[in-house]
Structure 1
C-alpha cells in the first residue's frame, strides 16, 4: 500500500520538473479527473493544460479554470468544447491540440459513466457508456501517439481511470453487445475495462517509450457515485475525491510507474511497480500493482487481443466514414 502521505510527498517534487509540460485531461469536468487536474495545476511549473467539456458543462468548467489561474498563473489553460461520447469529436479534440503543440507529456483519461437507464446509442451507433470509457479513450491514445512519442520526458505517460486488474472474460461473439439480451450496464463495464487493457497493451508493445497506467481507484465519493446510489449501489467507505486526486497525480508523475525514469524519483522504501504480461501498469486503489494474468494471459494466448484490436479499428473506420473523413491512423 502506498500511503496518502507518501503520495503527497512525491507530488510536492513535481514542482522540480521542467517547465512547460503539456497535459490533456479528458473527463476533468467532475470527479477524479477534476481533482487530478487541480493537483497537476497546483504542482506543475508553468504547464500547458488542455481540458475538454461538453457544452452543458462549459460554464462550470470555465469557473474551475479561473480558480486554477489564480493558483498557478504561470500555467496556460485551454478549454476545448466537445462531446467525447462521439469518436469523431475526439478526433476534433486531438486536432485542436496538435494545431498548437508538438508534444504531449501526459494524457489523463477519466470520462465515463454507467448506463443504468439502459442502452441508448449515439448517432455513431455506439453505446455511450462503452464509448466514453473505451472507444473514445482508445481513439485519443492512438491519435495522440505522434505527440506522445515526441515528448521531452524520457517516458511520456497515459493514465486511464477505470478498472485495471478487474478484467474478465468478454462476449467474443458480440463484442459491442449489440444483441439486447447481451447488453447490461455491468457487461458494458466489463467489456470496456477488458478491451482497454488488451488494446493499451498492444500500444505499449509498439511504443516502448510510453508508460501506460490503467487504474482502478476503488470507491470514490464523486458525482458518479452519488448517481449510482440513486440506482441502489451503495458501496461502503468511499475515498474522498480530493484524496483520489492526490493518488492520480502520483500515478501520473512518479517514476514508480515509468518504463524509463526521469520524472519524480520513486519514494524511498518503494520499488518499481510491476507491469502486466502485456506491458502496462495495472494499479489498484492504493497504487499497488494488480496481477490479473489468470484472466489476461489466456485471452492473449488465444489472440483475443488482436480480435478486439481489429474490431475497434473497424469501429473507428466507420465513425470516420460517417463524419465524412478517412481515418489515417
Structure 2
C-alpha cells in the first residue's frame, strides 16, 4: 500500500517539473475523482496548460471550479471545452480543440462515466467508446511529449468474462449494470494494451480507485448498498494526481515526471504492458483473465468492434 503521506510528499514535487506541461481531463466534473485529480495537479504544476471537458448542462458550474483553480495558481492556464462525451462524435471536437493550440500532450486523464442501475444507458460510451476514441486520436500529441501518460479511472484489474457474441450489449436481454461495467472495464484494458504495444514510450495506468465519496455514490445508497472502505474525494484526487505524475508508473526506461518516492518498490505491468492499479496504488494481477483473451486474439476482435462503433457514430452524425 502506498501511504497517503507518501502520495502527498510526491505531489509536492509536481511543482519541480518543467513548466508548461499540457494536460487534458475528460470527466473532471460533478465533484468526482477526475475533478479532484485536476485540482491537485493544477495547484502544484508550474504554468501548466490544462483543458477540461464539461457537458453543456454542467459547464457553468465547472467553470466556477476552474476559476477558483486559476486563482490558487495564477500561472495556470485552463481552457474549458464544452462537449457531451456520451456522444462519441463529440470526441473529435474535443481533440480538434486541443490540437489547434498544442503540439504535445503530456497527460491525459479520463474518468467519465456514471453508475446506472436500470435500463439501457450511455455508460458504455462515457466509460469506454469515447475515452478510447480520444486516446486514439491524441496519440500524435502524446508521442510528441517527453514522458506521455494516460490515466484511465475505471476498474483496472477487475476484468472478467465478456459476452463475446454481443460486445456492445445491444441485445436488451444481455444488458445489466454489472455486464455493462464488466464489458467497459475489460474492453478498456485490452484496447489500452493494444495502444501501449504500438506506442512503447506511452505509459498507461488503468486504475480502480475503489469507493470514493462523490455525488455518484449516492445512487448506491438509493438501492440500499453501502460500499466499504470509502475514501473522500480529496484523497481520491490526491491519489489520482500521484498516478498521473509519478515515475513509479512510467514504462521501463522512460521516466521524466516526478521521481519515485524512496522506500517504494516498483509495480508490475499486465502482460500487455498496462499498469493495472488498485485503490492503494499497487499493481493487480489479473492475468488469469487477460492472458486467455490475448492468446485467442480477443483484443483484436474488441478493437475491430470498437472501430465499427466509431464508424457507425460518425455516419449517424453525417446524416443529421
Normalised TM-score (structure 2): 0.97
Question: 1:65–1:77: 8 Å Cα contact kept in structure 2?
Answer: yes
Question: 2:246–2:257: 8 Å Cα contact kept in structure 1?
Answer: yes
Aligned residue in 2 for 1:275: 269
Question: 2:116–2:177: 8 Å Cα contact kept in structure 1?
Answer: yes
Question: 2:118–2:176: 8 Å Cα contact kept in structure 1?
Answer: no
**Structure 1 position 242, deviation (Å):** 0.3
Aligned residue in 1 for 2:204: 212
1:44 equivalent to 2:45? Answer yes
The 5 A counterparts of 1:14-25 are 14-25=14-25
Question: 1:10–1:250: 8 Å Cα contact kept in structure 2?
Answer: yes
The 5 A counterparts of 1:62-81 are 62-81=63-82
Structure-2 separation of matches of 1:196 and 1:232: 29
Structure-2 separation of matches of 1:305 and 1:236: 33
Aligned residue in 1 for 2:55: 54
Q: For residues 4-25 of structure 1, what are the alpha-carbon distances to aligned partners after superposition, in whole Å with 9 as ceiling and x for unaligned? A: 0000000000000000000000
Aligned residue in 2 for 1:125: none
From 168, 178, 182, give the equivalent of 1:186.
178
Give unmatched runs, 5+ long, in structure 1. 121-127
Aligned residue in 1 for 2:115: 114
Question: 1:283–1:289: 8 Å Cα contact kept in structure 2?
Answer: yes
Question: 1:11–1:43: 8 Å Cα contact kept in structure 2?
Answer: yes
In angstroms, what is the RMSD of aligned CA positions? 1.0
1:172 equivalent to 2:164? Answer yes
Question: 2:8–2:238: 8 Å Cα contact kept in structure 1?
Answer: yes
**Structure 1 position 320, deviation (Å):** 1.6
1:149 equivalent to 2:143? Answer yes
**Structure 1 position 45, deviation (Å):** 0.3
1:226 equivalent to 2:218? Answer yes
**Structure 1 position 248, deviation (Å):** 0.4
Structure-1 separation of matches of 2:108 and 2:15: 19
Structure-2 separation of matches of 1:233 and 1:205: 39
Aligned residue in 1 for 2:294: 300
Partner of 1:181: helix, strand, or coil?
helix
Displaced runs of 4+ in structure 1, greater than 4 A?
Answer: none
From 200, 203, 211, give the equivalent of 2:192.
200
Aligned residue in 1 for 2:106: 105
**Structure 1 position 233, deviation (Å):** 2.4
Partner of 1:266: helix, strand, or coil?
coil
**Structure 1 position 318, deviation (Å):** 1.2
Aligned residue in 2 for 1:287: 281
Structure-2 separation of matches of 1:180 and 1:88: 23
Q: For residues 92-112 of structure 1, what are the alpha-carbon distances to aligned partners after superposition, in whole Å with 9 as ceiling and x for unaligned? A: 100111111111100000010
Aligned residue in 1 for 2:28: 28
Q: More displaced, 50-59 or 226-235?
A: 226-235
Q: How many residues align?
A: 316
Question: 1:26–1:110: 8 Å Cα contact kept in structure 2?
Answer: yes
Q: For residues 182-234 of structure 1, what are the alpha-carbon distances to aligned partners after superposition, in whole Å with 9 as ceiling and x for unaligned? A: 10011000000000000000000000010000000011101111122212321
**Structure 1 position 88, deviation (Å):** 0.6
Question: 1:255–1:272: 8 Å Cα contact kept in structure 2?
Answer: no
Aligned residue in 1 for 2:234: 242
